[in-house]
Amino acid sequence: MEQLGTTVIEYILDEQAQAPEATGAFTSLLSELIVAAKIIARETRKAGLLDVLGSTGERNVQGERVQKLDDYGNNVIISRMGNSGHLCAMVSEEVADVIEIPDRYGQGNYVLVFDPVDGSSNIDANVSIGTIFSIYRRVSEGEGYTMADVLQPGRRQVAAGYIIYGSSTMLVYTAGNGVHGFTLDPSVGEFLLSHENIRTPERGKIFSVNEGNYYFWDDDVRAYVDHLKGKDGSKPYSSRYIGSLVADFHRNLLYGGIFMYPADGKDPRKPTGKLRLMCECNPLAFVCEQAGGAASTGGMRILDLEPLDIHQRVPLYIGSKQDVEEAEAYLGGERPQ
Ligand code: AHG
Ligand code: MN
Ligand code: MN
């Protein structure tokens, strides 16, 4: 009889069985999120055929153009997860304030933070996009939520990961016991274990950055990127940048390398870089560290940052440990040879 392979729920239940403090609530929360991901995957597959391409004509809290699939993904996750009964609050990249959970749905002990569609400027060009998620346990007691439940440092995440809608649809997640990848088998509609215990190479040969911002970077960032390009006679890295964080991150996680979004002086509204600490950097930093990599602002560990605001932006240097350490040395004014 043909074996189906291990489904993500079987894998999570097995992990739960080994973690005495884990409760069924967490597993049920993740399984709801997986249903939402399957729904977004279905729409993404047909994006060219449905009215989900292009922009809504609106701008979000980030001041960015909202793509129809951004809106669609955001609504799917909020509606499905809001009534899961396991959350006390949600934070979405697309929503200005913390999303409350209506009493009628019952409240739980977790906070979900997410970027419903990452890389959305690429949707119309059929380039891989993703969904990024992060889960925290609440720290307060009683009804509703407090900002202490929401503004937690990334090191307190209980789980994090992403779904990448690419040549195949993959779920990559960690619950603190390594990083595991599951590929959607459309014929049965299940995510099946395909990449158990992903480890990222200590050092890579790829760097990913938008060099269009080169003249807005400070000298230390320019010196580091010049080094990666072999200006000082070192062996050059390959440059790979697709403009979807999830796609760039996933490739570098598997192959090795460093992704950067430095602070740049280009947009005075975003002096500390474009990427969001809570919805993008913290979840990917948790995954990266669990795979043996590192994630830094260039000056400190991403997971140790105490968030000041749910939409706070930070510079991001993430990937192979030795590459991130070298980036931090350059940004500290050193010129390691
Ligand atoms: P989002 O689509 O969720 O707004 O994220 C877009 C981000 C990220 O996916 C990508 O790495 C970055 O924007 C690309 O920015 P630039 O076009 O400025 O390079
Ligand atoms: Mn994003
Ligand atoms: Mn987004």
Supply angle C-alpha 245, 220, 204, rounded to 5.
45
Ligand 1 atom at minimum distance from 248 CA:
11
Domain edge (last residue) among 170, 195, 220: 195
Question: Which of 292, 248, 263 minimizes the C-alpha distance to 129?
Answer: 248
State the average pLDDT over residues 329-336.
Answer: 95
Q: How far is the CA of 6 from the centre of ligand 1 (A)?
A: 33
| Distance in Å, CA 137 to ligand 1 centroid | 28
Same domain, 113 and 220: no
Query: At 57, is the pLDDT very low, low, confident or very high (cuts 50, 70, 90)?
Result: confident
Domain housing 243: 206-331
Across 13-17, 242-246, 273-277, least confident range: 13-17
Cα angle value 8/13/18 (rounded, 5°): 125
pLDDT of 97 > 70? The answer is yes
284 CA to centre of ligand 2 in angstroms: 11
Reported as a single tens digit per residue, the pLDDT across 215-245 is: 999 999 999 999 999 999 999 999 999 999 9
- 113 found inside a domain: yes
Percent of the chain residues past pLDDT 70, beyond the cut: 94
Residue of 93, 118, 278 to test ligand 1 pocket, by largest number of atoms within 8 Å of CB? 118
Q: Is the dihedral angle over the CA atoms 59, 61, 62, 67 positive or is it negative?
A: negative
* pLDDT higher than threshold 90 for residue 207: yes
Residue with token string 């459309």: 186
What distance in Å separates the CA atoms of residue 95 and residue 234, rounded to the nearest whole number?
A: 45
Instruction: Examine the domain organization and report whether 295 and 151 are in the same domain.
Output: no
pLDDT at 46 over 80: no
What integer pLDDT is reported at residue 103 of this predicted model?
A: 79
Tell me what the pLDDT averaged over the chain comes to: 92
Q: Express as a percent the part of the chain with pLDDT over 90.
A: 72
Confidence label for 314 from pLDDT (cuts 50, 70 and 90): very high
How many whole angstroms from 239 Cα to the centroid of ligand 3? 23
With a 6 Å cutoff on the Cβ, whether 122 touches ligand 1 is no
Question: Is the minimum distance from the CB of 67 to ligand 1 under 6 angstroms?
Answer: no
Strand, coil or helix: 296? strand
For the segment 313-322, the average pLDDT, to the nearest whole number, is 98
Question: Which of 58, 59, 261, 266 has the most ligand 1 atoms within 8 A of CB, as the residue to mutate?
Answer: 261
Which stretches within the chain are classed as H helix?
Answer: 8-18, 24-45, 68-82, 147-150, 219-228, 245-255, 282-290, 321-331
> Which ligand 1 atom is at minimum distance from the Cα of 115?
3
Cβ neighbours of residue 232 under 8 Å, at least 6 residues apart? 226, 337
Total count of domains within the chain: 2
Strand partners, 165: 129, 169
Q: Is residue 169 part of a domain?
A: yes
Which range among 40-44, 152-156, 160-164, 276-280 shows the weakest confidence by mean pLDDT?
A: 40-44
Does residue 2 lie in a domain region?
no
- Cβ-contact 182, 192 below 8 angstroms: yes
Ligand 3 is an ion; residues with CB less than 5 A from it = 93, 115, 117-118
Q: Look at residue 280 and give its three-state secondary structure.
A: helix
Together in a domain, 259 and 315: yes
Using a 6 Å cutoff on CB, does residue 94 contact ligand 1?
no
Same domain, 190 and 210: no
- Alpha-carbon distance 283 to 189, whole Å? 25
Whether 60 is in the pocket of ligand 1, judged by its Cβ within 6 Å, is no
Given 136, 171, 195, the domain boundary residue is 195
Minimum mean pLDDT range among 37-41, 193-197, 281-285, 296-300: 37-41
Nearest to 150 by CA among 285, 14, 307, 261: 307
Q: Which CA distances in Å does 302 have to 40, 77, 91, 185?
A: 28, 25, 18, 34
Please report which confidence band the pLDDT of residue 268 belongs to, taking 50, 70 and 90 as the band edges. Answer: confident
Name the helix (H) or strand (E) containing 136: strand 129-137
104 and 175 within one domain: yes
* 246 within domain boundaries: yes
Residue 85 CA to ligand 1 center (angstroms) comes to 32
For ligand 1, atom 12: residue with the closest CA: 243
pLDDT for position 50: 62
Nearest CA to ligand 1 atom 15: 243
Q: What is the CATH number of the domain that holds 286?
A: 3.40.190.80
